[in-house]
Amino acid sequence: MNRSRTSTAVGFRRFRIWLAALILLCQGMQGLDVRAQSLEERIRDQQEMTVESNEIPGWPAGPVVTAESAILIEAETGAILYAKNIHARQYPASTTKILTAYLTLKYCEDLDVTTTVSRNAADQAADSSVCGLKEGDVLRIRDLFYGMLLRSGNDAAIVIAEHISGSVEAFAELMNREAAMLGATQSHFVNPNGLPDPEHYTSVYDLYLMLAAAVKYETFVDAIHMDAYTASYRDAAGAAVQKTWENTNLYINGQAEAPDGIEIIGGKTGTTNDAGYCLALYSRKASGEELISIVLKADVRANLYLLMNEMLEKAGG
């Protein structure tokens, strides 16, 4: 009798997960909204957006949040626990570097191979997130990989792209092919670092697919879990250079605290005026289940982490 009840309960749970996934994946796909809005208008619009997972009968209600897209998924089963505009196209900012990191590990067999920083890679805007690389610097791919993920170096991402494909344009073509192979149907990329461009976009569901692929690599998981990384390399004149890059993820650098029963493994942040505040996160429940949670276009950084905690609390310890 107990075995029969257990089997029935498991079967019902699987049916609910299947039904939830079907409903969410059939939601309408939306384009990028590039209207100029005040902060007050953006917050109002974000709060009025439908939380699709709330429409599933018997499914736990999710929080009303000031972000345009969000998702929470069980990594192993793919069960969607929370969904808001999961197929809407959004600017990803530096969460783009998740895909760049995945391709680095897929196409670079030896991360200790060195490469030289080009003028193009070193030529970044003064207010851009960079590792501070100079033209002619010689670094290992490993150093660039950590600098890209922890410090969110736009310059490091370009060096990697040029090393793998010869140019940013060719690497963007590779990004689009590989994203399509992962099933990312609402994504298009034109650069490896996520700097704003009308033709550079993704969705939280597509980003989940990319992060799920990346965390299969132990090197990626190790990198996003580090609070800091020190790189030693040579400049164009052959002089020794040493730099330490700290993780921009507030959970990892100690500025944000996760809910009880949740261990933050790591993730990737992203911020631009067009993209708002973004975070893709990989975490683990006390029971051992792994979670992927993503927020795109939060209005302010504080709300980004507030929403992430609210979603993780819904998942339970």
The catalytic site residues sit at 94, 97, 152
Q: Is 314 helix (H, G, I), strand (E, B) or coil?
A: helix
From the list 207, 224, 209, 307, the residue with the least C-alpha distance to 258 is: 307
From the list 159, 152, 170, the residue with the least C-alpha distance to 137 is: 159
Q: Name beta bridge partners: 269.
A: 279
Q: What is the spatial distance between Cα 265 and Cα 276, in angstroms, rounded to a whole number?
A: 23
Task: Give strand ranges (E) for the chain.
Answer: 67-74, 80-84, 114-116, 138-140, 228-234, 240-246, 262-272, 276-285, 290-298
Q: Is 202 helix (H, G, I), strand (E, B) or coil?
A: strand
CA angle (164, 168, 171) in 5-degree steps: 50
229, 150 in Cβ contact below 8 A? yes
Q: What is the spatial distance between Cα 308 and Cα 267, in angstroms, rounded to a whole number?
A: 12
